[in-house]
Amino acid sequence: MSAQNNQHGWWLGMADMLTQGVGHGVMKIERVHLAIADETFGILERVPVTQPWSRVVRVSHHGISRLCYRSVSLAATGAGLAMGSDPKTFRPAKCTGV
């Protein structure tokens, strides 16, 4: 194997590691974000004045947040595949949240 091919493989490996890290990192950040938001929305549900709208806003917030975070995760995974990662070894991240 030539030095150029070896270096190319190294960069592909780094790109794969980076895109996988971003994809998994974004999912972790999403969970933390939603947990913190649940604390705030839980308080708002206990206040009589804000109680009627709290659930509606929570559902909207969580839906938009999930869409944004998972779009970034999908883009990172797609970028990794586009940069030459081996599609045979590709395993999508498991969605554990609801």
Give the pLDDT band (50/70/90) at residue 5: low
DSSP classification of residue 47: S
Residue 1 has pLDDT above 60, yes or no: no
In this prediction, residue 66 carries a pLDDT of 97
pLDDT digits (tens, 9 = 90+) for 21-74: 999 999 999 999 999 999 999 999 999 999 999 999 999 999 999 999 999 999
Asked if 97 contacts 34 with a C-beta cutoff of 8 angstroms, the reply is yes
User: pLDDT: is 89 or 80 the higher one?
Assistant: 80
Torsion, Cα 88 96 70 20, to 10 degrees, reads -40
In this prediction, residue 12 carries a pLDDT of 81
Residue 3 has pLDDT above 70, yes or no: no
